[in-house]
Protein backbone atom coordinates (compact mmCIF):
# COMPACT_ATOMS: atom_id res chain seq x y z
CA UNK A 1 0.00 0.00 0.00
CA UNK A 2 1.20 3.49 -0.82
CA UNK A 3 0.64 5.87 2.06
CA UNK A 4 -0.46 9.37 1.09
CA UNK A 5 0.67 10.81 4.41
CA UNK A 6 3.86 10.49 6.46
CA UNK A 7 3.78 8.07 9.38
CA UNK A 8 4.18 11.01 11.79
CA UNK A 9 0.88 12.36 10.56
CA UNK A 10 -0.90 9.10 11.38
CA UNK A 11 0.88 8.91 14.73
CA UNK A 12 -0.19 12.45 15.56
CA UNK A 13 -3.79 11.74 14.56
CA UNK A 14 -3.78 8.59 16.69
CA UNK A 15 -2.87 10.58 19.82
CA UNK A 16 -6.11 12.52 19.27
CA UNK A 17 -8.14 9.34 19.80
CA UNK A 18 -6.98 9.36 23.45
CA UNK A 19 -8.28 11.70 26.18
CA UNK A 20 -10.31 13.36 23.46
CA UNK A 21 -13.60 14.32 25.14
CA UNK A 22 -12.97 18.00 24.53
CA UNK A 23 -12.55 17.37 20.79
CA UNK A 24 -15.31 14.81 20.37
CA UNK A 25 -18.15 16.44 22.29
CA UNK A 26 -20.14 18.82 20.13
CA UNK A 27 -18.27 17.80 16.99
CA UNK A 28 -20.83 17.17 14.22
CA UNK A 29 -18.70 14.56 12.47
CA UNK A 30 -16.35 11.95 13.93
CA UNK A 31 -14.95 8.72 12.51
CA UNK A 32 -13.96 5.47 14.16
CA UNK A 33 -10.60 4.14 13.02
CA UNK A 34 -11.59 0.67 14.15
CA UNK A 35 -14.81 0.13 12.20
CA UNK A 36 -14.61 3.26 9.96
CA UNK A 37 -18.16 4.32 10.76
CA UNK A 38 -18.92 8.01 11.13
CA UNK A 39 -21.25 9.65 13.66
CA UNK A 40 -21.84 12.83 15.60
CA UNK A 41 -19.59 13.31 18.61
CA UNK A 42 -22.69 13.65 20.75
CA UNK A 43 -23.63 10.07 19.82
CA UNK A 44 -20.76 8.82 21.98
CA UNK A 45 -22.27 7.49 25.19
CA UNK A 46 -19.41 5.54 26.71
CA UNK A 47 -16.07 6.89 27.88
CA UNK A 48 -12.95 5.72 29.69
CA UNK A 49 -11.40 7.80 32.44
CA UNK A 50 -9.31 7.08 35.54
CA UNK A 51 -10.30 6.98 39.19
CA UNK A 52 -8.24 8.47 42.02
CA UNK A 53 -6.14 5.29 42.14
CA UNK A 54 -5.26 5.66 38.47
CA UNK A 55 -7.36 2.68 37.47
CA UNK A 56 -9.38 2.89 34.25
CA UNK A 57 -13.12 3.30 34.73
CA UNK A 58 -16.01 3.36 32.27
CA UNK A 59 -18.29 6.36 32.60
CA UNK A 60 -21.33 7.80 30.84
CA UNK A 61 -20.72 11.49 31.57
CA UNK A 62 -17.31 12.45 30.19
CA UNK A 63 -14.83 14.69 31.92
CA UNK A 64 -12.44 16.90 30.00
CA UNK A 65 -9.84 14.16 29.44
CA UNK A 66 -12.06 11.13 29.03
CA UNK A 67 -11.49 8.87 26.04
CA UNK A 68 -14.40 8.27 23.66
CA UNK A 69 -15.62 4.80 22.76
CA UNK A 70 -17.10 4.32 19.30
CA UNK A 71 -20.92 4.09 19.59
CA UNK A 72 -20.93 1.43 16.84
CA UNK A 73 -18.12 -0.95 17.83
CA UNK A 74 -17.09 0.29 21.30
CA UNK A 75 -13.39 0.66 20.44
CA UNK A 76 -11.36 3.61 21.72
CA UNK A 77 -10.50 4.84 18.25
CA UNK A 78 -12.65 7.94 17.69
CA UNK A 79 -11.15 10.84 15.74
CA UNK A 80 -12.81 14.24 15.36
CA UNK A 81 -11.70 17.27 13.37
CA UNK A 82 -12.51 19.84 16.00
CA UNK A 83 -9.45 21.90 16.98
CA UNK A 84 -7.25 20.10 14.46
CA UNK A 85 -6.81 19.75 10.71
CA UNK A 86 -7.11 16.00 10.24
CA UNK A 87 -8.99 15.40 6.95
CA UNK A 88 -11.56 13.04 8.39
CA UNK A 89 -14.06 13.90 5.65
CA UNK A 90 -11.58 12.48 3.13
CA UNK A 91 -12.44 8.80 2.62
CA UNK A 92 -8.93 7.96 1.46
CA UNK A 93 -7.40 9.44 4.61
CA UNK A 94 -9.81 7.52 6.84
CA UNK A 95 -9.10 4.25 5.02
CA UNK A 96 -5.34 4.75 5.18
CA UNK A 97 -5.38 5.94 8.79
CA UNK A 98 -7.49 2.96 9.77
CA UNK A 99 -5.21 0.55 7.91
CA UNK A 100 -2.16 2.15 9.52
CA UNK A 101 -3.35 1.90 13.11
CA UNK A 102 -4.70 -1.62 12.55
CA UNK A 103 -1.36 -2.67 11.07
CA UNK A 104 0.47 -1.30 14.13
CA UNK A 105 -2.02 -3.19 16.35
CA UNK A 106 -2.85 0.11 18.03
CA UNK A 107 -6.57 -0.49 18.00
CA UNK A 108 -6.29 -4.05 19.30
CA UNK A 109 -3.89 -3.13 22.09
CA UNK A 110 -6.07 -0.53 23.73
- Residues forming contacts to Zn ion in the complex (CB under 5 A) are 32, 34-35, 70, 72-73
Nearest to Zn ion of 62, 71 (CB atom): 71
- Return d(Cα 50, Cα 65) in angstroms, integer: 9
- Return d(Cα 32, Cα 4) in angstroms, integer: 19
The sign of the torsion formed by the CA atoms of 56, 37, 78, 97 equals positive
Nearest to Zn ion of 15, 53 (CB atom): 15
Least distance in angstroms from the C-beta of 72 to Zn ion: 5
Least distance in angstroms from the C-beta of 32 to Zn ion: 3
Amino acid sequence: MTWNYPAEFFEDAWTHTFENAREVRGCPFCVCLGCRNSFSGDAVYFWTDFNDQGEPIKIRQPREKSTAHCPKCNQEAVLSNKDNDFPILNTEFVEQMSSYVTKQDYVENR
